[in-house]
A and B are shown apart, each in its own frame.
Chain A
Amino acid sequence: MSLDNLKNRNVGVQNYKMLDLGHTPETGWGKFKQVLKRSVKLELFVGLKVTMREMFKALFMGEMHTVKYPFEKLPISPRYRAIHEMKRLLESGHYRCIGCGLCEKICISNCIKMDTRYDENQRKEVSDYTINFGRCIFCGYCAEVCPELAIVHGGRYETASEQRASYSNFEDMLTPMDQLVNQKEYPGFGAPTPVADKNIKKTPLAY
């Protein structure tokens, strides 16, 4: 499914059409004629044919609908908002978070807590960062507000565990160092749109 299909919110304007069901007979003679017509046309066997056709399609033409869920998964939209991910810089491997605190500020359920301090080079570093997933409503504001694309929403939606804290430490959300080569630039929620460059306007000097 492409992104365009997901973005179409105009539910109800798709191509619905009324079936031609004919008119319901009123009189007894009309009902009798309808029954006779349907019996002679063998309409019931059309139903049998359809189910048999579906069975052959499913068995021999690979059109089985079942997804064996824990073993197979359907693709989800890149805009899906599941457990957060923290991204790293591709060159140095350092985490992207600059400790600006915008995500903590904008979080409407107050579930992000971060502590920052100055390191020996007088750069800000994140000393503590947690998301309380008991409170997070996965609204996506943190990912949207992040200026560095450091915090994004991932596609990890299977979050049954003994405690939700298992997902919420900074280190758990960070891309593992050995997986850095596989880190993808994020096309989903909070990422700049493909036309972002065109939309940039010069800030006027007297602003």
Chain B
Amino acid sequence: MDGYIIATVIKAILILAVISALAGFGTYIERKILAFMQRRLGPMHVGPFGVLQIAADGIKLFTKEDFIPSGANKIIFMVAPIITAATAFIALAAVPLLPEFTLFGVTVRPIVSDMNIGILFVIAMMGVGLYGPLLAGMAQENKWGIIGSARTAIQFLSYEVVTGLSLLAPIMMVGSLSLIDFNTYQAGGIAHWIVWTQPVAFVLFLISGFAETNRTPFDLLENEAEVISGYATEYSGMRWGMFFIGEYANMITIGFLASLVFLGGFNPLWIIPGGLAIILKVAFFFFLMLWVRAAWPHIRPDQLMWLCWKVLMPLAVINILITGLVMMA
């Protein structure tokens, strides 16, 4: 039992360290990819190809003054970024990041906790994450913050519905909520991937994943042209940085969920071993988010609501209905 606790603690610390480092690295990748797609160079001067730009940004964020506006509700203002960052990492607890491997004769399962409600836990944690922007915007006594948090409420709550409904169909097929069961369900190679039987659910999940991670076609929470920085207007320094670590960690989580549920997870692919396969899949989803950001404009809040309630949700319900009918037949 002691060994189990120690192993879990080590896994948790490792995931925290690796994913937060990857989230920082993600900002560098994002700036580079966006720059290339606009035929610019991006960060170039700090280190080789600007790789150390993350370190420069980190130093800047850490040494900046931690500013709290006089009219703000101090405690909530200070706690809000922690909610965003913490829930993003807690969500990763139920996600199997790599296949099992053996290290020094010990079989390691790279999942903090294989609970039987894994996917529900991840969705729930990402849902709790909405309290971060919501409270931040309401606590800072700033009109842009208020608008930002109002948009948080409508956007995250609406797309929560689509995420849940789109995942419901694969859950019905697999008959389990554990992400490892999803992985074993698709163990038979590419032909067994759920994306072939549930293409609509896959597209719906991707769209709502973009909305839940606040990525570009749906980045209304902090759309500079409309609401300055939305919920993050009054934030500076590391508290502001925590929002972004949370956002990038969420992007990675969505990437893992999409790969595990729809694209075969960490099953080996031809000659590619499973561990590399899932990393490639997650990297593709991360790249897709940057690619979409470079290509598409974002939409108005009313269009966002129209898309969610009049298009995506009916489609998701119809998808579930058809899945159910096919399973009964």
Contact = CB atoms under 8 A, between A and B. Distances in A.
B295 A64 contact: no
A58 B36 contact: yes
Contacts of A63: 39
Interface residues of B, number: 14
A44 B296 contact: yes
Residue picked from A51, A64, A65, most chain B C-beta under 10 Å: A51
A51 B40 CA distance: 12
A48 B288 CA distance: 9
A54 interface: yes
Nearest to B39: A58
Contacts of A51: 37, 291, 294-295
Interface in B273-329: 291-292, 294-296, 311
A47 B41 CA distance: 21
A65 B295 contact: no
A142 B187 CA distance: 82
Nearest to A44: B296
Interface residues of A, number: 17
Interface in B14-56: 33, 36-41, 44
Residue picked from B40, B292, B294, B295, most chain A C-beta under 10 Å: B295
A203 B329 CA distance: 108
B296 A54 contact: no
Contacts of A48: 291-292, 295-296
A37 B291 CA distance: 24
Interface string A40-73: 0000100110111011011100011110100000
B40 A55 contact: no
B297 to A, nearest CB: 9
A63 B40 CA distance: 9
Nearest to A49: B295
B311 to A, nearest CB: 8
Contacts of B292: 48
Residue picked from A50, A54, A55, A65, most chain B C-beta under 10 Å: A55
Contacts of B44: 68
Given A44-B296, A47-B296, A54 B38 contact: yes
Contacts of B294: 51
Contacts of A59: 36
Interface in A147-194: none
Residue picked from B36, B38, B40, most chain A C-beta under 10 Å: B36
A27 to B, nearest CB: 16
A40 to B, nearest CB: 14
A57 B39 contact: yes
Interface string B191-217: 000000000000000000000000000
Nearest to B297: A47
Contacts of A50: 295
Contacts of B33: 55
Contacts of A35: 311
A48 B290 CA distance: 11
A57 B38 CA distance: 10
A187 B268 CA distance: 69
Contacts of B37: 51-52, 54-55, 58
Contact of B36 (A47, A55, A68): A55
A63 B39 CA distance: 7
B207 to A, nearest CB: 11
A101 to B, nearest CB: 49
Cβ-closest 4 pairs across A and B: A58-B39, A47-B295, A51-B295, A66-B41
Given A54-B39, A58-B37, 19 more contacts: A44-B296, A47-B295, A48-B291, A48-B295, A48-B296, A51-B37, A51-B291, A51-B295, A52-B291, A54-B38, A55-B33, A55-B36, A55-B39, A57-B39, A59-B36, A64-B40, A64-B41, A65-B40, A68-B41
18 contacts: A47-B296, A48-B292, A48-B296, A50-B295, A51-B291, A51-B294, A51-B295, A52-B37, A54-B38, A54-B39, A55-B37, A55-B39, A58-B36, A64-B40, A65-B39, A65-B40, A66-B39, A68-B41
